[in-house]
Amino acid sequence: MSEILQNGHLEEFIGLVESEALTLHAMMLTSAPYFILMKPNTLEIIHKIWEFRAAENSNICFTLDAGANVHVLYPFSEKEKVNRFIESELANYCQKKQYILDAVGFGAKKG
């Protein structure tokens, strides 16, 4: 991942991040006892992200936590376009259309 980020290879980043997220859930599906933590809306959001990425030639991608929550990742340069997509398409899958917008920070600073 470090090399991918240092070289700015967005397509490789997308492939690695999404593969890791889906592999984690595949492992949970095949464990004993097994767990299904994704929900139908999780899969709908993933498909919407893939469709948007293809249609808009975007670098949007997703990762998943250990539950049903999708985390949408994208370059800052696509912020406005992606935020419109989130509001118009993805928010409909969220409880009460609520979601969290976050950004990369600069880390902790000594006060």
State which residues form the domain around 52: 2-97
Identify which of 72, 65, 66 has the alpha carbon closest to the alpha carbon of residue 93.
72
pLDDT tens-digit readout, 29-58: 999 999 898 899 999 999 999 999 999 999
Domain count of the chain? 1
CA dist., res. 41 & res. 94, Å (int)? 8
pLDDT tens-digit readout, 90-104: 999 999 999 999 888
CA dist., res. 73 & res. 30, Å (int)? 27
Peptide bond into 40 cis (omega under 30): no
**Phi, then psi, of 19 in degrees rounded to 5:** -60, -45
Per-residue confidence (pLDDT) for residue 106, from 0 to 100: 86
Per-residue confidence (pLDDT) for residue 80, from 0 to 100: 97
**pTM of the predicted model as reported, rounded to 2 decimal places:** 0.88
Residue 73 lies in a domain: yes
Residue 106 lies in a domain: no
Residue 40 lies in a domain: yes
User: Cβ neighbours of residue 93 under 8 Å, at least 6 residues apart?
Assistant: 41, 44, 45, 48
- CATH number for the domain harbouring residue 17: 3.30.70.890
